Amino acid sequence: MLYFVNDYSAGCHEKVMQRLVETNLEKQAVYGEDIYSLSAKEKIRKACDCENAEIVFISGGTQTNQLAIDSLLLPHEGVVCAESGHINVHESGAIEYTGHKVLTLPEHDGKIDAGELRDFMQRFYADENYEHCVFPGLVYITFPTEFGALYSRKELEALRKVCDEYKLSLYMDGARLGYGLACRENELTLADIARLTDAFYIGGNKVGALFGEALVFTKNNMPRHFITHVKRHGALMAKGRVLGVQFDALFTDDLYMEIGRHAMRLADKLRAAFEEKGYQFFKKTPTNQIIIVVDDEKKAELEKKVAFSFWEKLDDTHTAIRFVTDWATREEDVDALIELL
Amino acid sequence: MLYFVNDYSAGCHEKVMQRLVETNLEKQAVYGEDIYSLSAKEKIRKACDCENAEIVFISGGTQTNQLAIDSLLLPHEGVVCAESGHINVHESGAIEYTGHKVLTLPEHDGKIDAGELRDFMQRFYADENYEHCVFPGLVYITFPTEFGALYSRKELEALRKVCDEYKLSLYMDGARLGYGLACRENELTLADIARLTDAFYIGGNKVGALFGEALVFTKNNMPRHFITHVKRHGALMAKGRVLGVQFDALFTDDLYMEIGRHAMRLADKLRAAFEEKGYQFFKKTPTNQIIIVVDDEKKAELEKKVAFSFWEKLDDTHTAIRFVTDWATREEDVDALIELL
Amino acid sequence: MLYFVNDYSAGCHEKVMQRLVETNLEKQAVYGEDIYSLSAKEKIRKACDCENAEIVFISGGTQTNQLAIDSLLLPHEGVVCAESGHINVHESGAIEYTGHKVLTLPEHDGKIDAGELRDFMQRFYADENYEHCVFPGLVYITFPTEFGALYSRKELEALRKVCDEYKLSLYMDGARLGYGLACRENELTLADIARLTDAFYIGGNKVGALFGEALVFTKNNMPRHFITHVKRHGALMAKGRVLGVQFDALFTDDLYMEIGRHAMRLADKLRAAFEEKGYQFFKKTPTNQIIIVVDDEKKAELEKKVAFSFWEKLDDTHTAIRFVTDWATREEDVDALIELL
Amino acid sequence: MLYFVNDYSAGCHEKVMQRLVETNLEKQAVYGEDIYSLSAKEKIRKACDCENAEIVFISGGTQTNQLAIDSLLLPHEGVVCAESGHINVHESGAIEYTGHKVLTLPEHDGKIDAGELRDFMQRFYADENYEHCVFPGLVYITFPTEFGALYSRKELEALRKVCDEYKLSLYMDGARLGYGLACRENELTLADIARLTDAFYIGGNKVGALFGEALVFTKNNMPRHFITHVKRHGALMAKGRVLGVQFDALFTDDLYMEIGRHAMRLADKLRAAFEEKGYQFFKKTPTNQIIIVVDDEKKAELEKKVAFSFWEKLDDTHTAIRFVTDWATREEDVDALIELL
């Protein structure tokens, strides 16, 4: 079976695994004070060109979003995101569990528009009863989005500008950040992201780690005693070294970007094949998720040999389906899939 | 340096690591539906002699306690535990974060007494204003306790009886369960624990896993759609297989017990040496934590060659210090330490 | 100044005040066990033709919604309501504060449509990842709605049917219930509402009470030890008698309905005048809120002599404004206003 | 029946009721913007000699404590109080509901000791794992305490000093503040309290109001957009005027102190009678709660003609019972009671 279901079905990149094995029996300091965590943080600071960045490693994405957003919001504030935002639809109400409302804007391939954000803020403060409403306090974006789209530099700068005007924090969910950074259409570097956001996370779970994400605060804005916040959320790993070793490996010899480039090269190859063979795209986005429209006959035929994911039933005879490449995708599998199209 | 600081400073047992490596590139179902998680659950059910046990793997102990307790309590209820209970002192208020109060009883080497629990419940219902108080809803115990003590069978049965009388759930934190089970003084089997508690967790973090705990509901009492509860807490791992593979390994060929026996054999050897050499025990408990009293001169001398943990300053010249053995402790290190005593 | 701003700017109906004065120095049992609370509950049970109804008096509407919804939802569930629902827009995130998400449907004069609710539920369960989403657990409706509209009997029965199909609770916010019940177009009795909902509240704050709402559970579904839930929310009044006396007065000699009829008669008179004089209605709804469109010149002219509320700026020269009648509105003021139109 | 059960069984002082009646039909601004709320706040500022005091009126004491403490604590902080503190025992876990732990100190007639607080703080920071614990962030005291005791000026200043040393907020629950201020043994003025605390509340429910408390922030420390915090807690009254009118009356012509003096004069008379007749005091405290020890025969005899409250069963034949005076207590009832002793 050719496997294109998602980017978190395999374990981790061999170089990450190798480091876990090599360091396994070392006795290390706990709760993130081990030498690997310290080294990984230093490497990430350099990669972000942000020497004051404060970094915490967390086991998964929902946990990271929940912790970061809850910590950056004041009690009377909520988080603004696209209707399609992961926190709004697929995190089981993890944000609301922390007591905060998710406020939504229209989505454009999963992105929000700076102009619409400004309108939203203007309407908010124009309502004379705004103190009876939830104050927008932070903007949540995904990069790449849930549909695989990327913000251009101009778009991200425009969002930053509105955030500054209205004193909103800007937070980026980078679950698939490596694939976004390595995308040929991408205009943003890690340093840009560090500069333009208040916090973001570098996804590991979907980008070569066994598990784990690196939450980065870029503006000296990590809450004091943040480790206590983390533990209170149940999110502090005793063996922080397990996360540290992985991110240290991912940020050694450009591995994180290498992983991204590998997946993107194969995604581009596959996307080109779909295009050439006349498939219609459900959303035409440039990263490692390819969502196409097929008739159900073709779908049934493909299912015999290929594992992909169902996206949405479109009409009686057509379905949107998704193919994903990642660090573990083999070129021969992409070629075999192309043969079947 | 001889290392006896704690039982979570190394990575994982070699057999666990071996399985992680072997299965690394397999594509597996996500969110705990992989074959290793299913297999591990089946093995745990057998080990517990509890065929209906419902099991969920969670990354860490605080997360597990928070999730289990929050899920088993009704809104107006709180959790009863020893004053020294981990949830009461060292989890940064993770229980209160879920909206529930921790109600405390006196501790006896970290244990609570069934008679004192009954008195507490009687006093609770004797107060005519009890509806203005937090209802005790669940009893939290640790096995071994934070001091290394074990409940005897009789003690646990007595607690169960009081819980039945007052319709309280009984939940056991088994962070170091493997060391308790393998202790020579221990009277309880996994099957006893499954029978006498409503839920408990089998600790992996401190007992040979890279990370992870197995939360076991034993009375068909896992809340419906529990996976949604888990995700809402930010605790659902996308690659559940990473936990599944580990617990599958730990419950294959008796590895979990083998790990326990290894640590206990070395702890017993070390304890005997302390005794023989006339050291005073701070708490005389039978498991893998040995807490002794030393004068500060001896402490300074030991610190040159041995890493151990500070427990408590006792007076101007004496300190309680703790030595811990685990799956990774080497016999030659124990012998070398004994030489130094 | 003629006063039509809202229905909660004056104190309370004279008969309510009279009873507060008459009973003022009596020593009564506290926390809602006083004879007036007991009597009021009995009268409400009769008025609802629901002899098992369980009733709790709460100081305000947001508090009541927060408490009722939090208590009726399971942890993994959220509340479904119209986009315009009061809990969604004007309660400062009070529902999210309890940890639950508000899920929205389109609004039709503030109402939700049973067909759209069914579609929503079908889509929910059709998503194979629904366990990663918030489960709809309760439907929140307002009667009259925020725009003054009423559900017909057929509409409410249709909602009930969908709720039954999907095991959803149905909860009605009756902040202005008295005005809805007394409306000439209304088809529903208190008994209908008790029969068709799982819980609802009878608004006092806007309908003649000094303050207070009566929360009614109609299906033996008040959580056990609910008084503890109430206190935990900070919502238990020590002098419950203050609420009891008021509701006892409101449900004596049909006062609650009399108040409703008074306000509705004047609202109808005013609405007819607007119509006759050719004013355009922003929303044509039948209860005590009348929202019309005026050009800004007329608005400025009216403002000199009349207090009304701003609703929405429509374009450069037109504005929607709202006139509200209530138990305290005087007929001479309505006549004077009509003169000015 | 002579009534001495508690201080919240009657309605409100006649002067408060009179003002409610007189202002009843006035149309006033809502949500606390009415002229009476503004006037009451100004009078309270003067009474506290604290011109920057920020004041919010809240319906009840638990609500006020919950709101104030939740708003003043950071996420990783908890509140320190006496074991007997109302928030710790009789508020159904309302503080924990907001996500914060209650940390306890020994009680001395319901008071905490500055030296013990300092020791507690020293021990906290001496624990090298303090980041795994809940940070003490605010100290909660009651004045008078639950047993009727008062802090001397020296005691309160000593607490303030420790709070300053450790950057803790100091918050006073003044449910019975009026009785404390009017007590002959009292050394503290409202101005002292405003100066020495960061926030406190002036109790109305037990001191002559129909209901309501005045929460006072004294150090320009009311959180921004606090009205939104209040509403999010479900605690914002639409008709804020009802609270404003009452506190305006209470702080006109020294009524609040007059009420206190009335109750204290009668309490002192009653206490002297108990003393003279040789009764033993359970706690000898100077305010309006008198707790004595009686044998059960005497108790049964008194119960025929007097309503008092049960405090605690002491042994097989003795019970502690409580007599309370308040604004509504009549001198003839005190005299009649004294006859019965």
What pLDDT was estimated at residue C206?
98
| Residues with Cβ within 8 Å of residue D234, at least 6 apart in sequence | C60, C62, C63, C64, C65, C66, C67, C91, C94, C233, C234, C235
Contacts of the segment B311-317: beta carbons below 8 A, 24+ positions apart: B311/B282, B312/B282, B314/B282
| Residues with Cβ within 8 Å of residue B191, at least 6 apart in sequence | B47, B48, B49, B50
Taking phi over 0 as left and psi of -120 to 50 as alpha, with beta for the rest, C110 belongs to left
Amino acid occupying residue C272: A
- pLDDT higher than threshold 90 for residue C172: yes
Percent composition of chain D: helix, strand, coil (DSSP 3-state, to 5) = 40, 20, 40
**What is the per-residue pLDDT across B287-341, written as a single tens digit (0 to 9) for each?**
999 999 999 999 999 999 999 999 999 999 999 999 999 999 999 999 999 999 9
| Residues with Cβ within 8 Å of residue D114, at least 6 apart in sequence | D155, D158, D159, D161, D162
| Residues with Cβ within 8 Å of residue B20, at least 6 apart in sequence | A11, A17, A20, A210, B12, B210, B242, B245, B246
| Residues with Cβ within 8 Å of residue C201, at least 6 apart in sequence | C58, C61, C64, C65, C68, C172, C173, C174, C175, C177, C213, C214, C215, C216
Q: How far apart are CA C36 and CA A9, in angstroms?
A: 64
Query: D96 to chain B: which residues are within 8 Å by CB?
Result: 78, 96, 99-101, 134
Q: Could you tell me the end-to-end alpha-carbon distance of chain D, in angstroms, rounded to an integer?
A: 15
Question: Do β-strands C77-82 and C135-142 pair in parallel, antiparallel, or remain unpaired?
Answer: parallel
Percent of chain B with pLDDT over 90: 99
User: Encoding tokens for residue B229?
Assistant: 């509860």
Is residue B269 classed exposed, middle or buried when 0-12, 13-18 and 19+ CB atoms within 10 A define those classes?
A: middle
**Does A30 lie at the interface with B, CB-CB under 8 angstroms?**
yes
**DSSP per-residue string spanning C148-165:** S----HHHHHHHHHHHHH
CA angle A213, A216, A218 (to 5 degrees): 165
Chain D CA closest to residue A233: D76
Closest partner residue to D100 (CB to CB) among B90, B96, B131 is B96
Q: Which of C100, C104, C97, C103 is nearest to C75 (CA)?
A: C100
**What is the per-residue pLDDT across D42-84, written as a single tens digit (0 to 9) for each?**
999 999 999 999 999 999 999 999 999 999 999 999 999 999 9
pLDDT confidence of C106, banded at 50, 70, 90?
very high
Closest partner residue to A101 (CB to CB) among C76, C93, C129 is C93
Strands (E), chain B: 2-3, 54-58, 77-82, 102-105, 135-142, 169-174, 199-203, 213-217, 280-283, 289-295, 306-307, 309-313, 318-324
Half-sphere exposure of D57 (CA within 13 A, CB side): 31
CA distance B265 to chain C (A): 45
Owner of token pair 């309590």: B73
**Does D133 lie at the interface with B, CB-CB under 8 angstroms?**
yes
Give all domains of chain A, ordered by start, each with its CATH number: 2-7+256-340 (3.90.1150.10), 14-253 (3.40.640.10)
Residue B132 · residue C231 · CB < 8 Å: yes
Q: What average pLDDT does the segment C326-341 reach? A: 97
Q: How far apart are CA D301 and CA A173, in angstroms?
A: 72
DSSP C83: T
**DSSP per-residue string spanning B100-153:** -PEEEE--BTTB--HHHHHHHHHHHHHSTTGGGSPEEEEEEEESS-TTS----H
**What is the per-residue pLDDT across D106-154, written as a single tens digit (0 to 9) for each?**
999 999 999 999 999 999 999 889 999 999 999 999 999 999 999 999 9
Phi, psi for B17 (deg, rounded to 5): -60, -40
What does the buried/exposed string (b/e) look like for C191-206 if buried means 16 or more CB atoms within 10 Å of the residue's CB?
ebbbbbbbbbbbbbbb
Q: How far apart are CA B330 and CA B272, in angstroms?
A: 17
**What is the per-residue pLDDT across D163-213, written as a single tens digit (0 to 9) for each?**
999 999 999 999 999 999 999 999 999 999 999 999 999 999 999 999 999
- pLDDT higher than threshold 90 for residue C116: yes
List chain A pLDDT tens, one digit each, 341 residues: 999 999 999 999 999 999 999 999 999 999 999 999 999 999 999 999 999 999 999 999 999 999 999 999 999 999 999 999 999 999 999 999 999 999 999 999 999 999 999 999 999 999 889 999 999 999 999 999 999 999 999 999 999 999 999 999 999 999 999 999 999 999 999 999 999 999 999 999 999 999 999 999 999 999 999 999 999 999 999 999 999 999 999 999 999 999 999 999 999 999 999 999 999 999 999 999 999 999 999 999 999 999 999 999 999 999 999 999 999 999 999 999 999 99
CA distance A32 to chain D (A): 13
**What is the per-residue pLDDT across C223-240, written as a single tens digit (0 to 9) for each?**
999 999 999 999 999 999
Task: Enter the pTM of the model.
Answer: 0.97
Q: How far apart are CA C24 and CA C28, in angstroms?
A: 10
DSSP A167: T
Strands (E), A117-219: 135-142, 169-174, 199-203, 213-217
Closest partner residue to C238 (CB to CB) among D24, D92, D205 is D205
What pLDDT was estimated at residue A286?
97
Residue ranges of chain B with per-residue pLDDT less than 70: none
Q: How far apart are CA C35 and CA C41, in angstroms?
A: 10
Amino acid occupying residue D147: F
**Does A330 lie at the interface with B, CB-CB under 8 angstroms?**
no
Closest partner residue to A75 (CB to CB) among D71, D132, D133 is D71
Residue D247 · residue D178 · CB < 8 Å: no
What pLDDT was estimated at residue B128?
87
What pLDDT was estimated at residue A128?
87
What pLDDT was estimated at residue A252?
98
Q: Which of C290, C263, C262 is nearest to C277 (CA)?
A: C290
CA distance A14 to chain C (A): 30
- Most D CBs within 10 A among B97, B103, B105, B310, hence the mutation to make, goes to B97
Closest partner residue to D232 (CB to CB) among A70, A76, A224 is A76
Residue D138 · residue D77 · CB < 8 Å: yes
**Does A20 lie at the interface with B, CB-CB under 8 angstroms?**
yes
**Does C18 lie at the interface with D, CB-CB under 8 angstroms?**
no
CA distance D132 to chain A (A): 6
Contact between D74 and A232 using a beta-carbon 8 Å cutoff: no
| Residues with Cβ within 8 Å of residue A232, at least 6 apart in sequence | B91, B92, B93, B94, B97, D75, D76
Query: C105 to chain A: which residues are within 8 Å by CB?
Result: none
Q: How far apart are CA C159 and CA C188, in angstroms?
A: 14
What pLDDT was estimated at residue B216?
98
**What is the per-residue pLDDT across A135-153, written as a single tens digit (0 to 9) for each?**
999 999 999 999 999 999 9
Chain C CA closest to residue B100: C232
What pLDDT was estimated at residue A177?
98
Phi, psi for D180 (deg, rounded to 5): -65, -45
DSSP D32: T
Q: How far apart are CA C174 and CA C201, in angstroms?
A: 5
User: Encoding tokens for residue D215?
Assistant: 């929460």
Residue B295 · residue B287 · CB < 8 Å: no
Residue A270 · residue A325 · CB < 8 Å: yes
Residue A81 · residue A105 · CB < 8 Å: yes
